Structure 1
Amino acid sequence: MAKERSRDALLSLLAKEGNQVCADCGAPDPDWASYTLGVFICLSCSGIHRNIPHLSKVKSVRLDEWDGAQVEFMASTGNTAMRAKYESEIPPFYYKPTFSDCLLLREQWIRAKYERKEFIYIEKQEPYSAGYREGFLWKRGRDNGQFLTRKFVLSEREGALKYYNKNDAKDPKAIMKIEHLNATFQPGKIGNPHGLQITYLKDNSTRNIFIYHEDGKEMVDWFNAIRAARFHYLQVAFPGASNADLVPKLSRNYLKEGYMEKTGPKVGRAVFSVCAKSNKRKASRSVGSPWTIGGSCISKIPWMPLPGGKSSSGARKTATRCWKDSLRPPKGTTGRTASPSSPRTGSSFSPARRRPNSRSGSRPSRK
């Protein structure tokens, strides 16, 4: 009878606002609880709490037995009250993982909250908020795929992340500007639970490096140090923007990644050059309609470089492809389709003839 009363009391506590999602990752319908910290958590996070038994002891809300004192403690605490205590000083740039993130991020988030109390004491945030970080990480080689130790230096003042092939090297092997830097954990892709993928731009092409560290805390500190540097850069670049506007721009995860067939960049540039030069005087556009050139449709498609490969030299621009009165591109183009508003008549693309130029050849003789 007492067991049923305890279970009913816990279930009523779960129905309260704040307790309906996991206190650590936000997963819905948590079925577990830490009766020493006073929070309701999901099954996945309960496994992480078991690894810090000196701080957190967990029980199942529905399967385990609870005594009256434990139920009373849970009633006096709860997720909302404990978040206010353990998350009172979270920096705006710090990444708060969700239930869909990798195990490393969620584990270090829980340890930072309860074990190290980083969000209660601001001085414990120095490893990733100081604006400068230096250390050695394992970096995967471009040719052989072998991981070797490399020296990395992140300088907020210089606005760049650098790495060196040798410890005593004066010049860095690569300079990655914070302006274009992105970091995301990819343990499955890299083959290491602490694997981090860093993406940057070099000569208008997307480059990637893959790194990891044996210490999970070290790797997460690097990740948040990059976010901190980008956050301070964006604050200077956009002084009127709020934190809510800047935080989504710090780093991004890839929703979809894979390989697609792609034609060479020369063909695409040639098609655009012919259309732009021969029809530029006929270009017209009405409000709310697609660009048209003499009855032809111009489909503007932004280049989205794949994380795993290089993009074209126009990666930061808008690629323009057009063909006359057809939804199917001609052979030799990029394979992208035109705007749905273009008519489906089936006529083929025919580039206009280039007028003779005095620089490239002689003018036709006048009769």
Structure 2
Amino acid sequence: MSGEQDWNKKSVKILSRKGGNTKCADCGETDPQWASYTLGVFVCVTCCGIHRNISEISKVKSLTMAKWDEEQIQFLDQHGNDAAKAKYEAHVPIHYYRPTHTDCHVLREQWIRAKYERKQFMKNEGADGSPDSKETGVKEGTLFKRGRDNGQYLARKFVLTELDGTLKYFIKSDAKEPKAVIKIDSINATFQPEKMKHNHGLQITYVKDNKARNLFVYHNDGQEIVSWFNAIRAAQFHYMKVAFPTANDKEILSRLPRNFLKEGYMEKTGPKPTDAFKKRWFTLDHRRLMYYKDPLDAFAKGEVFLGSTEHGYQVKAEIVPNSYSNIWNYGISISTPDRTYLFTCESEQDRENWLSVFKKVISIPMTVREFAVEAQFKHRS
């Protein structure tokens, strides 16, 4: 019997190295160590935990620790990740966000549930996976929004309208006038469970009067908050298809709501040699480096535009002595055509991480749209 089990384990291992099975079927993590013998997919340990929560659909086992019988091995052999993708991801909308292994739990969970539990992509559905949104181009509902001053989360009515490219929110559900009207093309939305201390926390960053603003929202239902995230992506995708008819889908997709390139604390000094260093929370969103007094502030205290090296932008490491009230002395300077900014990091590793991201950004040539944003920054200053 043990010989048979050894052979079965070896057979499963061989199957896990076959084609698309070398990466998790749901998040792309390499070398998955679990498999669902009812769906025929190989998954990583994190996605395996989600599969366990839909046990009526997916039954999982460890490739190395569990016993495998002949029928289960044959089922895996006849299916596998590539076959499952062709079946369960046949009609994923082009704008729909496919989570990776670095994404938060709610995104991964709802992606897995959408595929296997709701079978959302086995036939064409609406723009965000719901039939009504495609018909009307409008998504409406209640989200809990963080108050700018008191930090309390209160229910607010939100309306996303694809036709006029806006996201509005209202203080009361029956209010006629919105509290804010946000242009869809200026939005970035990213999940922030750790920062917001809520598993379904979503940060909506947008630009108004060329200044960054933040809304922090959540919904208790994971499916609903992910639906909002993908509805924003859908509306933005369709808006940009009209606004930039010569842009290809890949270019547009790169501009849709995405994770920030990097966030964290650095110290910053002002333009005068006598200005003191102050600790600030920094967020890098593509070429816009924003800094805040607190990570959950609604408004940025300031912003720096990162252009490209071919247009006079430079980034380099600096040694900053403790003579300007700075606590940290692992310095970074960002030189723009108009000014040099000086920051300090807590550790050498932290500085290397920031430098790596900054250098990558400025190595990329600027687009026509980015030149317009740069001009707005110059005009503002």
- The alignment's TM-score, normalised by the length of structure 2, stands at 0.72
Change (3 A) 1:127 1:53: farther
Trace 1:335-354 onto structure 2 (pairs within 5 A): 336=333, 338=335
User: Contact 1:128/1:224 (CA < 8 Å) preserved in 2?
Assistant: no
- What is the Cα deviation at residue 305 of structure 1? 2.2
* Partners of 2:123 and 2:300 in 1: CA distance: 43
**Could you tell me which residue of structure 2 aligns to residue 55 of structure 1?**
57
Trace 1:313-352 onto structure 2 (pairs within 5 A): 336=333, 338=335
Which has a greater percent of strand? 2
Change (3 A) 1:304 1:108: same
Asked if 1:204 is matched to 2:189, the reply is: no
Change (3 A) 1:244 1:317: closer
- What is the Cα deviation at residue 15 of structure 1? 1.2
Deviations 1:34-82 (A, max 9, x none): 0000001111111100000110000111110011011011000000011
User: Contact 2:140/2:159 (CA < 8 Å) preserved in 1?
Assistant: yes
User: Contact 2:291/2:303 (CA < 8 Å) preserved in 1?
Assistant: no
**Could you tell me which residue of structure 2 aligns to residue 113 of structure 1?**
115
Which of the pair has more CA radius of gyration? 1
Greater alpha carbon shift after TM alignment, 32-41 vs 306-315: 306-315
- What is the Cα deviation at residue 252 of structure 1? 2.0
**Could you tell me which residue of structure 1 aligns to residue 167 of structure 2?**
161
Change (3 A) 1:314 1:219: closer
* Partners of 2:95 and 2:213 in 1: CA distance: 24
User: Contact 1:19/1:40 (CA < 8 Å) preserved in 2?
Assistant: yes
- What is the Cα deviation at residue 171 of structure 1? 1.4
**Could you tell me which residue of structure 2 aligns to residue 182 of structure 1?**
188
**Could you tell me which residue of structure 2 aligns to residue 42 of structure 1?**
44
User: Contact 2:291/2:301 (CA < 8 Å) preserved in 1?
Assistant: no
Asked if 1:148 is matched to 2:133, the reply is: no
* Partners of 1:318 and 1:11 in 2: CA distance: 48
Trace 1:69-84 onto structure 2 (pairs within 5 A): 69-84=71-86
* Partners of 2:254 and 2:87 in 1: CA distance: 25
Trace 1:257-296 onto structure 2 (pairs within 5 A): 257-262=263-268
* Partners of 1:181 and 1:217 in 2: CA distance: 21
* Partners of 1:113 and 1:314 in 2: CA distance: 40
* Partners of 2:18 and 2:319 in 1: CA distance: 56
Asked if 1:305 is matched to 2:290, the reply is: yes
Structure 2: gaps spanning 5 or more residues: 274-286, 325-331, 337-381
Number of equivalent positions:
297
**Could you tell me which residue of structure 1 aligns to residue 22 of structure 2?**
20
Deviations 1:316-349 (A, max 9, x none): 6979999xxxx999x9xxx94658xxxxxxxxxx
* Partners of 2:77 and 2:303 in 1: CA distance: 59
**Could you tell me which residue of structure 1 aligns to residue 254 of structure 2?**
248
User: Contact 2:167/2:182 (CA < 8 Å) preserved in 1?
Assistant: yes
- What is the Cα deviation at residue 103 of structure 1? 0.4
* Partners of 2:302 and 2:210 in 1: CA distance: 5
**Could you tell me which residue of structure 2 aligns to residue 97 of structure 1?**
99
Give me the CA root mean square deviation: 2.8
* Partners of 2:117 and 2:319 in 1: CA distance: 59
The residue type equivalent to 2:86 in the other structure is A
- What is the Cα deviation at residue 128 of structure 1? 5.4
